[in-house]
Structures are given as C-alpha cells and as structure tokens.
Amino acid sequence: MTYDEVMAAWRDNPERFWAAQAEAIDWHTPYDHVVDLERPAGRWFAGGTLNTCYNAVDRHADGPRATQPALVFESAMTGREETYSYADLREHVSTLAGALNRAGIGRGDRVLIYMPMIPEAVFAMLACARIGAVHSVVFGGFAGPEVATRIDDAEPKAILSASCGLEPGRTVHYKPMLDEALRIAKHQPAVRVVLQREAAPCELTGADTDWHAFTRDAEPVDCVPVRSDDPLYLLYTSGTTGAPKGVVRDNGGHAVALTFSMAAIYGIEAGDVFWAASDIGWVVGHSYIVYGPLLAGATTFMFEGKPVGTPDAGVFWRLIEKHRIKAMFTAPTAIRAIRREDDAGEHVAAASLEHFQTLFLAGERCDPETLQWAERQLKVPVVDHWWQTETGWAIAGNMAGAGLFPVRPGSTGKPMPGWSVDILDTDGNAVPAGDSGAIVCRLPLGPGATAGLWNANERFIETYLSRYPGYYQTGDAGHIDEDGYLHVMSRTDDVINVAGHRLSTGALEEVIATHPDVAECAVTGVNDALKGQVPFGFICLRSGASAEPTAVIADCIKQVRRVVGPVAAFRSAIVVQRLPKTRSGKILRSTLAKIVNGDTFSVPATIDDPAILDEIATAIANAKP
C-alpha cells in the first residue's frame, strides 16, 4: 500500500484500521471497543488486557526469535560491548522483575529510574512493565532538585539508579544528586537500588541496596496482564511553568501504535536492526530504543557516547556498518555536530553503508541545509518527522514501509494515520494552505497518545484541550503547504529546544529569580548554529544590588546548572535596565526573542560580544509596549 492508500484506509474507517493493527499484538483478553471518548483525548482498546513486556520480549523469546539479538549495546565511554538475545533479555528482565516483586513492588506502583545509557536501564523499564509497575525515567542531565520534583509528583515506591554516567571528559556522579533529591523530596521511596559501575563506584548509604544484591537469588516472574488503559509509564516533560508535566502513557494504544510505526514509518520488520541515537530519558528513547523495536521483534542498538569526539565524527557511520543498521533515528543537532567536524564527509565515505536505508530526524526543527548535507553524504533518504512526548510517536512524517513519498526539505512530511492535523488562527478558524497558525489535532487523538497528565487532569485540559475546543493544541506553530506537507516552525509557548532537548524557559527563570540581587528576569531561546537554540537570560537587578552585573550573571549560570542540570546549557545572559512589558505588566517574551534572533544577532558565536550585548540592551530600552 502507498501512503495515500494507507491514509485512505484510515480515513475511511479509523476503528477498522486500528483494529487491524491491533491484531499484531497478543492480547490476554480481547478489548470491547477500539476507542471511546470516556477520556477527552480518547481511550484505546478499553476492556482489553495485555502485557507490554510480554509483547516486547516473551512472545519473541518463546518463538523462533529466541536466539536472535534483541539488544546490542556498545559504549564508546567504557568499551563495553554486549549482545542480548530475546531469551537473554527475558532472563534479565524476569529476574529483576522478581526482585522488584520480592521488595513489595507490584501493579500500579511507580518506580523512578535515574540511570545512564546502559542495558540495565532497559531491563529496569521492561521489568516494571512486566509486573504492571509504572516506570518514570529521569534523564541523567537533570540535577538533584529536578529529580526531587519528579519524586514528589510520582511518589515512587522504588528508585533504580547507578553510581555514574559518563560524558566525554566528565564523570556524572548520580549518587550525590540522588542524595540531594532525597533530602529535598517530601516523599521517600522505601527501595533504593544502585548499580555500581566500575568507572566510578559510589559509597552506598542508608537504605541503598547494591543492584546485584537486590537481584541475587530472585525468582524470575511472569508477565502480569494489565488493562489496556493502565499506565505503562510516566515521562516528565517541560511546559510553560517550571513544574514538569508527567505525561501518562497507556499500554494497549501504545503497543499497537508503536508496532504499526515500526513497519509503516521506519520500514523495520522483525529481524532488522534499528538504532535510535537518543537517550532513554527522552520519549525517543522510550519509544524507539526500547519499546518500538522490541515490539516489532527487531534488534535495537543502544549506544553510550556522542556523535563527535568519541573518538571522532565517524563513530555513527562505523557503528551503522558494524551492526548492519537498516534505519537510524537521531536529532538534527547530532548531524550538525558531525558536519561541523567532517563537512567533506570523509568519515562517511570510509564506511560501507550498504545495509543502511533511511535516516530519520526529529526532536527539533531541521534546517534544510543539514538534511540535504546528510542526504548527499549518506546517499539515502533523510526523513524529518515531527512528534512530542505527549504523542509518543510521529504525528507527521513519511512512510518508509509504504515506499517513501518525495521528501521536502524544511517540512516534516505529511500527517500519519490517527492524526487529523489542522492549522488554526487565533480565533480558532482554519487558515488557507500556506498560512501560518497554531498546529492542532482533532480529537480523539491517535492510539499511543498521552492519556493525560499524572495528578493534573485539569492542567491537561487547560494546557491542551481548552484553547481550541474539539482539538488538541500541540504548542507548535507552522503551516501546511498546498501539497499537504506540514512545516513546523516554532513553539507558541515558553518551551525551547536545545540540542533536541525540550526545556522550559519558565523553569530557568524560576531559578534565576532566586538570586538575591535579581529583581526580575526573562529567558528566551536564541538561535544556535549547533544546538538549534540555546537559552539566553535578561536580568534586571534590584536597586542597591551589591554584586557586579557580571558576577550576578556568573552566579545565575552556576545556579541553573546546579538546580536544573547541565542539560539546560545556560551560558549567556545580559543585565538590562528594564524588560519590555505590556501595559498590564506582562513581560513581552516574543519581543525579547525577536530582538536576540534578529539579523544582527543570529550568529551565536557573537551573542556574548560586548558590542552585540550593547545593541541588545539598546533595543530593549527602545522596545515599545
């Protein structure tokens, strides 16, 4: 079937379409309805029971794929290389699941996972799924206070962690951050398990248990059937305010949607090798390092390392060759980083990529130049596609499994089944093709989309469903061109994307505002040639502030790193006399964004140049309400 035929089948009868996709999943008991509107965004496969771990692991381990590699791991940081067959994966996962059960953790209990990119993190996620516990993975680049916020919201019974993560030139010691998180958090998980990594073991204290002691002699346990709409995981993501949102993912809709996406969008069948070069702390890692490829019976490749400098800008291509990877998924930032070091593509030319068929990009806007450079070097289609933590898989993209339609650089392809995408003006009216507006999706959402926000139903409705009744507001703005391609251009809220990492400017502002010399502040994204965007701060000092402006900026930068974490990549700010505001006193963030991203300031290397900073200050002083 072509893309148009797949879309026609879905449009013609969405329920029949998804019921056909649901046949790829092993249900413990059949569902009653494909979708109902008991939840505003839709509830999928209600009445059915299944187990996601069973579908991702056991059914392959029980069949002809038992000895096929399920997970291949390689670390550029330690040299560790491992291959786990589906049978091996089941052994590890069911034993860890048994240990969790033994420690009193079961269906519905939350488990926080704060771990680096190692196979044990995947075992942990799947072990939770196996026993019906709800995992919440926190990205390693977040610091202790961010972990504390998530602990207090999710109230996990257990925390699984490791002694360290490894960044080029830097060891990330998790234990002190975890200890700080637990000092701050009101909720105290009873079970705390730490995996000691050779690179930097830590001292276990208080309630900490060593990972191997925790799993020793544990009886492997079977998969527990859960309801289709029971939560599989919570994943916190950034919103407009500093408080992260716990996106809830269900089991049934998720399993069906991801299985469909592996074949249709990525062109991956059982036995193929797929690599999502992301991190398990992000939704891309959840969907396409862990669940998607395993649900499909494929081999997932997991990499601890960076696209450049570990050891060089050829590492991605050598790994694609070595592991016979058929399709890869990464963020445009990774490609820009590689290009910066190897514009001529010498490393690409040195690799034999005959098994490689498609490169997929997402996570941030991809500039056409980057996409075209990758196409020229790799000589395969490079597909930009668009989605969000909330949706769990692509809203718009292309279909490698149905024969790709022509890629249009600068666009994120066309809508996928499940997603009726419209562009609305501020009055909520659909705009003509080519005109810009808010990107929205008609309700109900496709399977796999979030079932809501943890502990925050009203926030869910207010953030996503109330602005345009009958629609889900994506928070992105853009247009659909005359040929039906979607162009995602910017956010409509205070979220920025830094190296493909989603951050809330509000969260950074909250930290900066705690400095005793800061009267008020604003943070906006400034264009960056490598990371797409980086945060830039505007700070007004209190009258009579004791510290020098440069010292205040330095303190704020340090404090953001300490409280939010290094992932914030907050390195630049300016002290200004005032912030532009509306007559009612609201800071005009869009004016600030325009000022720093105007033609004069678009070269990021110069954002800290005193002359540019002077110009920014003058532009702000002259900004009209």
**Residues that bind ligand AMP in the complex, under the rule CB under 6 A:** 237, 282-283, 362-366, 384-386, 388-389, 412, 474-476, 488, 491, 497, 502
Which is closer to ligand COA, CB of 61 or CB of 172?
Answer: 172
What's the min distance (Å) between Cβ of 53 and ligand AMP? 24
What's the min distance (Å) between Cβ of 334 and ligand COA? 4
What's the min distance (Å) between Cβ of 305 and ligand COA? 9
Which is closer to ligand COA, CB of 112 or CB of 308?
Answer: 308
What residues form DSSP beta bridges with 472?
Answer: 441
Which is closer to ligand COA, CB of 190 or CB of 529?
Answer: 529
The alpha carbon dihedral of 427, 430, 436, 441 has a sign of: positive
Closest CA to 364 of 235, 240, 527, 596: 527
Residue 316 to residue 451: CA distance in whole angstroms: 35
Which is closer to ligand AMP, CB of 193 or CB of 235?
Answer: 235
Contact (CB, 8 A) for 178 and 147: yes
339 binds, among ligand AMP, ligand COA, none (CB under 5 to 8 A by kind): none
308 binds, among ligand COA, ligand AMP, none (CB under 5 to 8 A by kind): ligand COA
Tell me the longest C-alpha to C-alpha distance in the chain: 74
Cα-based angle 601, 308, 145 (whole degrees, multiple of 5): 70
Contact (CB, 8 A) for 524 and 596: yes
Which is closer to ligand COA, CB of 139 or CB of 471?
Answer: 139
What's the min distance (Å) between Cβ of 529 and ligand COA? 11
Which is closer to ligand AMP, CB of 51 or CB of 287?
Answer: 287
475 binds, among ligand AMP, ligand COA, none (CB under 5 to 8 A by kind): ligand AMP
Residue 344 to residue 367: CA distance in whole angstroms: 18
Which is closer to ligand COA, CB of 237 or CB of 473?
Answer: 237
What's the min distance (Å) between Cβ of 172 and ligand COA? 4
569 binds, among ligand COA, ligand AMP, none (CB under 5 to 8 A by kind): ligand COA
125 binds, among ligand AMP, ligand COA, none (CB under 5 to 8 A by kind): none
The two structure tokens encoding residue 618: 């003058």
502 binds, among ligand COA, ligand AMP, none (CB under 5 to 8 A by kind): ligand AMP
What's the min distance (Å) between Cβ of 598 and ligand AMP? 21
191 binds, among ligand COA, ligand AMP, none (CB under 5 to 8 A by kind): none
What's the min distance (Å) between Cβ of 142 and ligand COA? 8
Closest CA to 251 of 156, 385, 158, 128: 128
**Phi and psi, residue 305, nearest 5°:** 160, -175
The two structure tokens encoding residue 65: 């794929």
Closest CA to 251 of 1, 29, 558, 561: 29
384 binds, among ligand COA, ligand AMP, none (CB under 5 to 8 A by kind): ligand AMP
Closest CA to 269 of 242, 293, 245, 241: 293
What's the min distance (Å) between Cβ of 602 and ligand COA? 19
What's the min distance (Å) between Cβ of 282 and ligand AMP? 6
Which is closer to ligand COA, CB of 307 or CB of 448?
Answer: 307
What's the min distance (Å) between Cβ of 81 and ligand COA? 20
Helix (H) or strand (E) holding 159: strand 158-162
- Which residues are CB-neighbours of 118 under 8 A, at least 6 positions away? 73, 75, 80, 162, 195, 197, 304
Residue 504 to residue 494: CA distance in whole angstroms: 6
Which is closer to ligand COA, CB of 284 or CB of 302?
Answer: 284
Which is closer to ligand AMP, CB of 347 or CB of 501?
Answer: 501
Contact (CB, 8 A) for 218 and 95: yes
Cα-based angle 597, 600, 605 (whole degrees, multiple of 5): 75
Residue 140 to residue 181: CA distance in whole angstroms: 13
Neighbours of 49 (CB within 10 A): 18
Enumerate binding residues for ligand COA (CB under 6 A): 139-141, 165, 167, 170, 172, 278-279, 282, 284, 306-308, 331, 333-334, 337, 363, 498-501, 531, 566-567, 569
Q: Is 622 exposed, middle or buried (0-12, 13-18, 19+ CB in 10 A)?
A: exposed
476 binds, among ligand AMP, ligand COA, none (CB under 5 to 8 A by kind): ligand AMP
HSE value, Cβ hemisphere, 13 Å, CA-based, for 193: 25
Residue 181 to residue 20: CA distance in whole angstroms: 45
567 binds, among ligand AMP, ligand COA, none (CB under 5 to 8 A by kind): ligand COA
